[in-house]
Amino acid sequence: MATPPPESRSPEEERYEEARELLYEAYSELQRLEAELGGTAVPAPAVVVVGHQTDGKSALVEALMGFQFNHVGGGTKTRRPIALHLRFNPHCHSPNCRLLAGSGEGGAEDEAGDADRAMPLADIQAYIEAENKRLENDPSQFSAKEIIIRIEYKHCPNLTIIDTPGLILAAPGRKNRVLQSQACAVEALVRAKIQHKETIILCLEDCSDWSNATTRRVVMQVDPDLARTVLVSTKLDTKIPQFARASDVEVFLHPPTCVLDGSLLGDSPFFTSVPSGRVGSCHEAVFRSNEDFKKAISLRELDDVTSLEDKLGRSLTREEKNRIGVSNLRLFLEELLQNRYIESVPSIIPLLEKEHRAASRKLRKVTQEISDLNKAKLKEKARLFHDSFLTKLSLLLKGMVVAPPDKFGETLINERVNGGTFTGSENFQLPNKMMPNAGMRLYGGAQYHRAMAEFRLVVGSIKCPPITREEIVNACGVEDIHDGTNYSRTACVIAVAKAHDTFDPFLHQLSFRLLYILKRLSPISVFLLEKDDEHFSSHDVLVKRVQAAFDKFAESTEQSCRERCMEDLESTTRYVTWSLHNKNRAGLRHFLDSFVAPEQYPHTAHSAGLHEQSSVLNDNKQDRPKGDLKSIHSSDSNPSSVASETRLVDLLDSTLWNRRLAPSSERLVYALVHQIFHGIKEHFLVTTELKFNCFLLMPIVDKLAALLREDLESAFEDDLDGIFNVTQLRHSLGQTQRELEVELKRIKRLKEKFGEINKKLNSLQVRQ
């Protein structure tokens, strides 16, 4: 908006201009405060420029400013957003630039909050170029922290413009992964900058067909109706020659509602052209001064209007001319931003009040902490933290929903990655779909219970490993008093060896998994304390000591519990107690009955059974004493007695006297091994779960408090200053106190400024 000369202003205009200048200054300081506090202050209205790398974004920003300051060309020239606080000053014949506080990656501000410094334009350009080169070699490539520059110049509008990095259209394919990741990073940065409702979005499109929404695709993710978006078609001078017919130009100047609806800010797009060439004294420069650059912009606007009228075969209307050229766009943005400033004043004041109360509360808290830096208060604070920490720990085990699952919860997949999986010798792992709550993000007692349930399911589904004939024969060995075979001993030897090798890894895996889950309780408890204002972030040494003591207790408890379980496993796999190991006697009896079932039938069944048993007799069978044969034949008068005795002899022959492994002997060993293995598995599952609950979980409930209190009291006696790092703490709290005092003064000053502005604007409205 053009400002009338001072001598031609009326008193009303003087007051209005005074209020307007005060308004711009207040919003400029408000935006600085927001940038320095990381966006936590009240957001101020601003124009954010969004476009792709080849849309002429930086060139348009320079044309709006009235002078050149940045590098313009292909590729990524802007890697940090540049916030430009532009102020019209007719007395500044050259740009007066100041790099404001908060522009660096981190720095202390002074009490007045004016830790900015005047810099020549060349130094500003060098600073921006250095930042771009630094970020080009940085892994992140881009930074969301703004470079804040305040500029006064006779050609500047009263605008606050934020120039963002150019959007990237990366080609598909694996070889373009780096560029694709950069494109995602820039798009996320731009979306974050335009998400505030107070932001005016300047959306640049370099296209002659409005159906191609390259930049609008990103903008409409945040502003779907384009209600706060000003649409600009850049490089108009290159597009006019592309139109063959006047109707094409008409469609371009007046897009149909099916492509652009009427909710667009300003109702229709703007069309701009910026003359190419740089300002300077070298032979490559096209313009010798910014005055020449400004004149070239005005001439380009006139040429564009003339070219459009030639294409259309008619004169442009006043409304159409108001959409052509950088000067008309600048005037529109200046009026729009000024109205937004005025409209936002009443809502800014209560928001500043809220920020003032929050800063005052923080300052009182820090001041109280400084006054509490004595031994008695520090001990009391440590004991309070100790009790609160244990309370949160207990609540996490019992179950709570205060901690956000998306931050602290783990699905079963994540838990397996971080805490290990339950896998046996064959690397078998149950699918996630077989586990209840596998996809839920759990923590605390719920996660502990899920891990134990998975352990039961995995171990409970394990079957006895395969047994080879070689293993059976090797397990037979030689007795110390005879050379017969004892297949019950053979089965015991095989079963306990298989059981120990199978269940030992699971014991260690369960121990590691549960220890990991318990250790996760510590950071979640600290988070809950911070959320309830029960934790003082300045006492990091104390917090770390309590966490270290908890981790040490958990590790020692886990080791003790694991050793108890190992003793159980060793005893169960060292000596077979049939009352314990042979749980399913009915199944085994049914299996053994199948050996003799055929022989229970008379005549044909008996002869068939004898024939089967005779096929597995030893070659020395004919060498048996004849007396035995006679006794058998003498019993022919009693067929059932003969059959029973024959079965007994054949059974002894195949299990005791014979070392040729018959199918019946092999089946007998298999049955005994499976039965013993099953008994060991059932006992292992029950005792392991019971011991981990009793000797790992319960000590955290009933023994941890005393141990942590003992550790804390011991530390009080040895090194109280070391626990709290009082010297460093006093220094950091003092620095925080000074920063909060500065912040409080700045917010208070802003409150007063906006209050004064609101009064002046209200008085002007009443008089009007």
**pLDDT one-digit tens code per residue, 280-332:** 778 878 888 888 888 999 999 999 999 999 999 999 999 999 999 999 998 89
Side chain identity at 538, as an amino acid letter?
Answer: S
On whether the CB atoms of residues 13 and 168 are closer than 8 A, the answer is no
Cα–Cα distances (Å) from 286 to 113, 236, 294, 303, 537, in that order, read: 40, 20, 12, 18, 57
Is a pLDDT exceeding 60 seen at residue 21?
Answer: yes
Cα–Cα distances (Å) from 288 to 61, 72, 294, in that order, read: 19, 17, 11
Cα separation, 342 vs 362, whole angstroms: 31
On whether the CB atoms of residues 206 and 163 are closer than 8 A, the answer is no
SS3 162: strand
The residue with greater pLDDT, 600 or 285, is 285
Cα separation, 549 vs 13, whole angstroms: 71
On whether the CB atoms of residues 345 and 23 are closer than 8 A, the answer is yes
Report the percent of the chain where pLDDT is more than 90: 22
Model confidence, pTM? 0.54
- Per-residue pLDDT tens digits for 467-513: 988 888 888 877 777 676 777 888 889 999 999 999 999 999 999 99
The residue with greater pLDDT, 344 or 299, is 299
pLDDT confidence of 642, banded at 50, 70, 90?
A: low
Cα separation, 357 vs 147, whole angstroms: 29
Give the pLDDT confidence score for residue 305 in this predicted structure: 93
Give the pLDDT confidence score for residue 256 in this predicted structure: 84
Is a pLDDT exceeding 80 seen at residue 556?
Answer: yes
Residue 46 φ then ψ, to 5°: -160, 160
Cα separation, 409 vs 445, whole angstroms: 12
Mean pLDDT, the chain, as a whole number?
A: 79
Most confidently modeled of 15-29, 118-132, 631-645? 118-132
Residue 558, Cβ neighbours under 10 Å: how many? Answer: 21
Mean pLDDT of 678-684: 91
CA atoms within 13 A on the CB side of 520: 24
Give the pLDDT confidence score for residue 137 in this predicted structure: 80
pLDDT confidence of 72, banded at 50, 70, 90?
A: low
Give the pLDDT confidence score for residue 129 in this predicted structure: 84
Q: Among 152-166, 590-604, 631-645, 672-686, which is the least confidently predicted range? A: 590-604
Q: Among 157-166, 399-408, 683-692, which is the least confidently predicted range? A: 157-166
pLDDT confidence of 581, banded at 50, 70, 90?
A: low
Cα separation, 241 vs 258, whole angstroms: 25
pLDDT confidence of 179, banded at 50, 70, 90?
A: confident
Cα separation, 20 vs 757, whole angstroms: 8
Report the percent of the chain where pLDDT is more than 70: 76
Mean pLDDT of 550-562: 94
Mean pLDDT of 9-25: 64
On whether the CB atoms of residues 670 and 467 are closer than 8 A, the answer is yes
The pair of structure tokens assigned to 737 is: 């106190």
Mean pLDDT of 214-224: 90
Cα separation, 114 vs 25, whole angstroms: 13
SS3 124: helix
On whether the CB atoms of residues 568 and 738 are closer than 8 A, the answer is no
The residue with greater pLDDT, 152 or 273, is 273
Q: What is the largest CA-CA distance in the chain?
A: 149
The residue with greater pLDDT, 328 or 11, is 328
Give the pLDDT confidence score for residue 19 in this predicted structure: 66
Give the pLDDT confidence score for residue 557 in this predicted structure: 94
CA atoms within 13 A on the CB side of 219: 26
Is a pLDDT exceeding 70 seen at residue 413?
Answer: yes
On whether the CB atoms of residues 519 and 415 are closer than 8 A, the answer is no
What helix, strand, coil percent values describe the chain, rounded to 5? 60, 5, 30
